[in-house]
Structure 1
Amino acid sequence: MDDNKTDGLEPVDASGRDNGGDKTQRIDSCDKNLLLSEFGEFGAKATKRKGRFARFLRNRFVPFWTGHNKRNIKIAAVVLSAAAVFVLSFYGVRIIKLLGTVDYDDGIDFSNKDATYVEDETDFSAMHEVSDAGSLDELLREWATNGGEKMYSKNVINVMLFGVDSEDGTMSGARSDAMMLASVNLKTKKITLVSFFRDSYTYMNIDGSIRYNKINAANNWGGPATVVETLENNYKIEIDKFVSVDFKTFPDIIDSLGGVTVPVTEYEAKFVRRTTRYKNFKAGDAVRLTGDEALMFSRIRHLDSDINRTRRQRSVIMAIIESTKDANNRQLNKALDFIFPNIRTNYTKSEILSLGSKALSQGWMDFEIQQMVSPSENAQKSAYINGAFVWIVDYPAEARAVQLALYGTTNIVLDANRNNVLSLLTPRNTSGNTNNHQPTGSSGSTRTQTTAPGVNTTAAGTTSSPATTEKPVETTLPPDTTQATTQSTTSPPTTAP
């Protein structure tokens, strides 16, 4: 035996050093043969298994499906078709059942048009007073009724969402506590959520009676369709449909999805802990809320302003969308059980089915979502009208901004010398009697022009009286009282790309 070699290793000299300094290990011929043998055996087994599978396909599988005039294929097709029909029928029956609970409504409801509109108490302080109430109303009316075209696009779907407060759950005569436009742009794959301030002062037509009040009063007096009409006239856009839901159903819907996660500021959390039963309400960038907590959070009053109020409402809506994405089938089914019976909409059943299938097939849940509020900071000022806090809105500027956000284009051209309603406001003098906020020029009387029997617009807490033909204080206006220029409606509505 050679002492200078070790089994399977490099040869070394007697001193134990490498032979010639070569560091490469070598496999002797015996080990090579063994290794080749093992690989060969593995390859043989693989070949054998492959051969068996091939014989199975050739002798069993193919003849089973192709023999006897392909009878087994036909049987399998029938079985699978029956199973598919069963599954689709099951879900189809469920969907039809759910749609049967939807309360279809054209949205026109003048049953409360003679009711006194009682506004919620507010702690907000207006910064301006109206110097010319007659001119203000006249400018608002002329813009709303100037015949300007309303923007429309086949690639844009506009749905008005209402969250209302009702006493009996019927939503008839309820105030629209939250007003949000959900606009789906199929071309840009974007969803735009536009929150409208409920205290925006506006012209409205209530069953032939011309009134000026906060926009959420339109829902109380004329139903959601009247609010939609008012918004269309002010913003010069077409709104396809509306969906209205009572806030009372929000907790059940949110709880069925497992809650929502929203950002809560420290001052909001402190306000909640101080004024509600939720003494452990937390602040943070991602606070998990139950249905009752989310409802309370979105309806916070007397804390800051409409701006932050709408922000909280949008954050809850966004959180519901996110929870829907993560929900399982059981949670979604439970949510639908609460949603469908408690909505009021002018969508028909077939339209709901079509909209749902389009949303699924086009992946609306993955669309980018952008948010905006109206009026924006540069197009509004706060004021008191007959003692009530309102936002005076530069509607032409806002209409242009909303059109650009929804369609990427606009048909409104703002004249640099136009009559802007904001120019009719003067800084409020807080050194005098802060309880008297009658606008200059109104002489303390109602400023409603009445063209049909009805009641006058009244301020918060006042009693309505029979219609009067007394006109607002007449003020001579410059020849061009149109605040912005739009194309005439003698042609079809402007169609965006």
Structure 2
Amino acid sequence: MNEKDFKVGCYTPSAEGKNNLQNRKKRIIFTTTVAVLALVVLLVVAGLVYYKSKIGLLQYNDGTVSKPGEIAETDEEMMAESAAMEQALKNLEEKQAIEAEGEIFGDENVFNILLIGTDDRTKEFSGNARGDTCMLMSINKKTMAMKLISFERGIGVPILDGAYKGQYDWLTHTFRYGGADLMMREIRECFKIDVRHYVRANIYTFMQLVDSVGGVDIELTQEETDYINHPEGTYGESHIREMGVADQIQSVVPGVNHLNGATAMLYARCRYIDNDWHRVKRQRNVIQAAIYQTQNLNLLELNSMLDHVLPMVQTNLTEKEITSLMLLAPRYQGITLEQMTIPEDGTYGSMIGMGGRSMFSVDFNQNAQILQSFIYGVEKP
């Protein structure tokens, strides 16, 4: 080896050595790239399998019923509710319902889902339940606003199909007459709001949701506190007994309390101390509190929540629609809901409908305009 083969402090590799070094680098880069891509593919596949496994927990139902139910006029609970409704409406002026005018209003950026809480008091869904809670969840995919509208269960609506077609009855009873499909039709036709998707839950689903997010913070009044601590002689007492949750009801105090599922259920179903208007607001309070609570869940807790809650949910949402909503979900986590109750003050009176039942006689035209303004930002004429 002579001087030409040396540099100061280093060895100059031959052309062949350089090529070998470059080839080794290329092989390392290629192998690493393939490994990373394989890992990404595995993660995507695992994510899809996980996602599909969760969707598979849901109970899909198109919303129709094979055999419409009936309302037994001698049903003790229904008779008691009729008496309570009659008492609540005694100071209202008798009026005729006013039909809504115009076409059903919709917007491609707004996705409406009817949330139906049925009165089943078992973990399984009953084929003869009533839509005890009826709320419209409106999701604006453009403005990222989320709105929640409660419909008073005692609204007198014209039955649009079935054996009682043309007669007026409580909105809650339409679920028994024709399932979620008929209930959605009633909202579409009576209020001219486009809604073709629903999610059905029952009392057990409600309690499981609250427990799965770790409970909810609810501010209680003195009257609400007294009711929860002493529900004797009310509907609440029968709910507790029938569902076997007496040992789960917490002792509460006025102010903010962290409620478990059973106690939140008792709170949300309370109308004994005031009326159904306050009850639907309590239901929205629990939903809002549960949304806030999801911010505190880690991945394992979220997974556990889905495993426990989804099997107790029924819907007609397709996999594609659920996927679309899931992609938006992170942007809505912890959001504050805009809320309202229909019918609005001053837009209803009283009337007598099916079975001699007292019910709210609603100016549907006025309330349709109110809803279109609230949901879509359409200016009232």
* TM-score category (smaller protein): 0.7 to 0.9
Shift of 1:384: 5.6
Q: Deviations over 1:294-323 (max 9, x none)?
A: 111111132211210011000001011111
Residue 150 (structure 2) aligns with = 195
Equivalent runs, 1:121-132 vs 2, <5 Å = 121-122=80-81, 123=84, 125=87, 126-128=89-91
More displaced stretch, 192-201 vs 94-103: 94-103
Residue 400 (structure 1) aligns with = 369
Matched residues, number: 338
Residue 376 (structure 1) aligns with = 344
Q: Does 1:338 align with 2:292?
A: no
Q: Deviations over 1:428-471 (max 9, x none)?
A: xxxxxxxxxxxxxxxxxxxxxxxxxxxxxxxxxxxxxxxxxxxx
Residue 46 (structure 1) aligns with = none
Distance 2:26 2:120 in 1: 65
Partner SS state of residue 149, structure 1? coil
Amino acid in structure 2 at the alignment position of 1:381: G
Distance 2:226 2:357 in 1: 28
Distance 1:243 1:188 in 2: 23
Is contact 1:176-1:216 (8 Å) kept?
yes
Residue 129 (structure 2) aligns with = 174
Residue 439 (structure 1) aligns with = none
Distance 2:103 2:286 in 1: 34
Shift of 1:390: 2.1
More displaced stretch, 94-103 vs 117-126: 117-126
Partner SS state of residue 176, structure 1? coil
Residue 229 (structure 1) aligns with = 185
Is contact 1:128-1:384 (8 Å) kept?
no
Distance 1:115 1:401 in 2: 31
Q: Does 1:282 align with 2:253?
A: yes
Residue 264 (structure 1) aligns with = 220
Residue 167 (structure 2) aligns with = 211
Is contact 1:189-1:367 (8 Å) kept?
no
Rg larger in structure: 1
Distance 1:338 1:400 in 2: 39
Equivalent runs, 1:442-481 vs 2, <5 Å = none
Shift of 1:166: 1.7
Q: Deviations over 1:249-304 (max 9, x none)?
A: 222222121111112111111112121554722221x3100011111111113221
Residue 229 (structure 2) aligns with = 273
Shift of 1:131: 5.3
Amino acid in structure 2 at the alignment position of 1:236: K
Q: Deviations over 1:6-56 (max 9, x none)?
A: xxxxxxxxxxxxxxxxxxxxxxxxxxxxxxxxxxxxxxxxxxxxxxxxxxx
Distance 1:64 1:91 in 2: 40
Partner SS state of residue 62, structure 2? coil
Q: Deviations over 1:371-426 (max 9, x none)?
A: 1111112212356655534222221111111100011005x64xxxxxxxxxxxxx
More displaced stretch, 312-321 vs 299-308: 299-308
Percent identity between the two aligned chains: 27
Say if 1:66 and 1:403 are closer, same or farther in 2 by CA, change over 3 A.
Answer: farther
Q: Does 1:74 align with 2:45?
A: no
Q: Does 1:329 align with 2:329?
A: no
Q: Does 1:157 align with 2:116?
A: no
Residue 495 (structure 1) aligns with = none
Greater helix share, structure number: 2
Distance 1:290 1:64 in 2: 68
Amino acid in structure 2 at the alignment position of 1:372: M
Equivalent runs, 1:143-154 vs 2, <5 Å = 143=99, 148-154=102-108
Say if 1:188 and 1:165 are closer, same or farther in 2 by CA, change over 3 A.
Answer: same
Shift of 1:120: 6.2
Residue 254 (structure 1) aligns with = 210
Partner SS state of residue 137, structure 2? strand
Q: Deviations over 1:36-91 (max 9, x none)?
A: xxxxxxxxxxxxxxxxxxxxxxxxxxx99965252211111222222223333333
Query: Which of residues 344, 348, 364 is equivalent to 2:332?
Result: 364
Shift of 1:128: 4.0
Is contact 1:113-1:206 (8 Å) kept?
no
Q: Deviations over 1:80-126 (max 9, x none)?
A: 22222333333322221222222211111151344536426233522
Amino acid in structure 1 at the alignment position of 2:339: Q
Residue 4 (structure 2) aligns with = none
Equivalent runs, 1:37-48 vs 2, <5 Å = none
Is contact 2:174-2:182 (8 Å) kept?
yes
Partner SS state of residue 378, structure 1? coil
Distance 2:66 2:108 in 1: 31
Residue 283 (structure 2) aligns with = 313
Partner SS state of residue 305, structure 2? helix
RMSD of aligned alpha carbons: 2.6
Is contact 1:158-1:182 (8 Å) kept?
yes
Residue 388 (structure 1) aligns with = 357
Shift of 1:357: 1.7
Amino acid in structure 2 at the alignment position of 1:323: Q
Distance 2:41 2:21 in 1: 23
Is contact 1:111-1:173 (8 Å) kept?
no
Structure 2 regions of 5+ residues with no counterpart?
1-18, 232-236, 238-245
Is contact 1:263-1:315 (8 Å) kept?
no
Say if 1:282 and 1:383 are closer, same or farther in 2 by CA, change over 3 A.
Answer: farther
Is contact 1:206-1:218 (8 Å) kept?
no
Q: Deviations over 1:159-212 (max 9, x none)?
A: 111111125522422111111111112233211110110111111213362221
Residue 484 (structure 1) aligns with = none
Distance 2:216 2:358 in 1: 32
Q: Does 1:94 align with 2:50?
A: yes
More displaced stretch, 163-172 vs 74-83: 163-172
Structure 1 regions of 5+ residues with no counterpart?
1-62, 414-497
Distance 1:64 1:225 in 2: 71
